[in-house]
Amino acid sequence: MSSQRSDLQHSAVVVIDMANDFVYPGGVIADAGGPDYQRRAQALIPGLARLLAAARDAGVTVVYATDAHTPTDAELRKWPPHAMAGTWNAEIVPGLAPRTGDAVVGKQTYSPFMNPEFERTLRDRGIRRLYITGLHTDCCARHASGDAFQRGYDLVWVSDGLQAFTDDAHQAGLEYFKTWYATDAARQLRTIGELVTDWQGAEAPLAV
């Protein structure tokens, strides 16, 4: 087994908060961000769909970490109720619908690591590298990255697969990753196009 293929089989794309509430008008978070934010959040979908298709073909696990709030969640002391579990708002946007073999884990605050099911899913699947995508670069992606870094996961941030309420906040989030977590920024901050090219050049995983 090639080293590259082994790395991919122990990797996961983490899709953070690409739920209706965060992306489309009528969502609490989307409406708070306004039309420009909604446009940029929706613009993520085609690229992420391409990335996820390439990931699945290459044997990279896809893990959705999406808000699924309950009325007692502590985060709702800070933010109004949003992405409530079981509602349209908490559903993953249709253009990125999960496929067979993907993992979907609800989260109740910024970092998915606060839900033990998330890390258990990574451990059970032998995941050591996380490709971070979704919303928001400077909040949930940042908190997830901090928890992952402190647990020893190898991190890659998909720079054009992330967004925030403003582009300035997005860029600040990327700079934070470089400053506090990256050990090799050229390797750890990649674009969708770069990763798709890399993964398409890898051997297909062996049939089981």
Catalytic residues, by residue number, are 17, 107, 140
What gap in Å lies between CA 162 and CA 14, rounded to an integer?
11
Q: Is the dihedral of CA 80, 81, 82, 88 positive or negative?
A: negative
Residue 64 sits at the vertex; the CA angle it makes with 24 and 44, to the nearest 5 degrees, is: 45
Going by C-alpha positions, the residue among 79, 7, 47 that lies closest to residue 191 is 47
What are phi and psi for residue 22, nearest 5 degrees? Answer: -90, -10
Which of these, 118, 101, 100, lies nearest to 109 by C-alpha position?
118
Spatial CB neighbours of 94, under 8 Å, sequence gap ≥ 6: none
Residue 36 structure tokens: 């420009």
Whether 44 and 16 have beta carbons less than 8 Å apart is answered as: no
Which residues, at least 6 apart from 163, have a Cβ–Cβ distance to it below 8 Å? 37, 40, 41, 43, 44, 135, 136, 137, 170
User: What is the spatial distance between Cα 89 and Cα 33, in angstroms, rounded to a whole number?
Assistant: 15
